[in-house]
Amino acid sequence: MRNATPPVLGFAAFSGTGKTTLLKRLIPLLKERGLRVGLIKKSHHDFEIDKPGKDSFELRRAGASPVMLSSSHRRAIITEHAEIRERGLEEELGYFDQTGLDLILVEGFKQERFSKIELHRPLLGKPLLFPEDPSIIALAADGELPIQANIPLLDLNSPGQIAAFILNRFF
């Protein structure tokens, strides 16, 4: 990825597979090992992170873009897109503050070509992604697969194993 300084690793799966659940368990393990981790999450919805009635919401509604909310604890930058269209990961990485990061994790953008771990739960009845996506570098599953995996197979319910794979692969 041209717009990324640290390694970028995605987690690709169909909705309901548990990407966010895994990431909530995986990120603290990576941080315990000294990694500074950033995250980009793809949303397929029109979302609001600000609330009607708040000054920043009203100023954005009045036409300011971007709007930055800043406090002693965090900062958020909200930018309205002039053109409503899906953005690619490479484009979004250009806006992502990567200062001091060791690793960028990505949830979503599964159609794009960058290093990803596929998450798969056979009981959901969804097709496997890795046979059609050469950028998938490992498969984390919680049951028997209908075909032989020609990439590393990880236990979806073992975040420690997945963390070890990431550390061995990228660091």
What is this structure's pTM?
0.92
Superfamily of domain 8-49+87-170: P-loop containing nucleotide triphosphate hydrolases (3.40.50.300)
Query: Is residue 47's pLDDT more than 80?
Result: no
What is the pLDDT at residue 161? 98
Query: Is residue 46's pLDDT more than 90?
Result: no
What is the pLDDT at residue 45? 67
Query: Is residue 164's pLDDT more than 80?
Result: yes
Question: Could you tell me what percent of the chain has a pLDDT over 90?
Answer: 81
Tell me the domain boundaries of the chain: 8-49+87-170
State pLDDT tens for residues 74-110.
988 989 888 999 999 999 999 999 999 999 999 999 9
DSSP class per residue in 2-64 = TT-SS-EEEEE--TTS-HHHHHHHHHHHHHHTT--EEEEE--SS---SS-TTSHHHHHHHTT-
